[in-house]
Amino acid sequence: MPDCKNHKMKHFFAIVFCLITISSLAQQQPTELDKSPLDISYSPPNYPILKMNGKVTGQPVARIIYSRPQKAGRTIFGGVVTYNQIWRLGANEATEIEFFKNVKINGKSLPKGRYTLYAICAESKWTIIFNTEKDIWGLAYNEKKDALRIDVQVKNTDTTVEALTMFFEDIKEGAALNILWDNVKVVLPIYF
């Protein structure tokens, strides 16, 4: 009898081992490199490096997290980005901007916090929208959650930017958020 019980225990553990192995193999595998990689930009520019080198002690003023779709031979504005329709200002998860202090944009106050950033693009101007709905994949825009809308002028550039690019640069008493893609540039001055 003891051999039969021992054999059943070995059989039981062998089954458990197989199930655990199969379960671990069935786990999600790492994804391939995204066609629209995620990027982050800070104000002040290069904030993490400055902090690592002991050149800043406080929090940054702002941080933007966004995915960078590629032009890839396509017509962007008036094509991929339809004029006069809401755009998540990037790809994949909606672009988010966080302010670590209260700011003023175009003379309007915006409290510190994290916002989803959208745009309504036209040929000569964009309406930039700061929305309080967060952690959105794709375009799940809710106008009732808008915190602020600002119009900015479009500048056409002589060079083509392949990947959507956003970065902050220092300006007097604030920072400018530069948004470039294809042959278009918009600049959003932010004061703090």
Domain boundaries, the chain: 38-191
pLDDT band at 177 (very low <50, low <70, confident <90, very high): very high
Radius of gyration of the chain (CA): 24
pLDDT band at 25 (very low <50, low <70, confident <90, very high): very low
Residue 112, helix vs strand vs coil: coil
pLDDT attached to residue 112: 97
Rounded distance between C-alpha atoms, residue 148 and residue 37, angstroms = 27
Is the overall model pTM greater than 0.85, yes or no? no
Residue with tokens 């039969």: 4
Task: Please check the confidence at residue 19 and state whether its pLDDT lies above 50.
Answer: no
pLDDT band at 20 (very low <50, low <70, confident <90, very high): low
Phi, psi of 84 (to 5 degrees): 65, 25
Q: What is the mean pLDDT of residues 163-190?
A: 97
Average pLDDT of the chain is 88
Reported as a single tens digit per residue, the pLDDT across 82-141 is 999 999 999 999 999 999 999 999 999 999 999 999 999 999 999 999 999 998 887 889
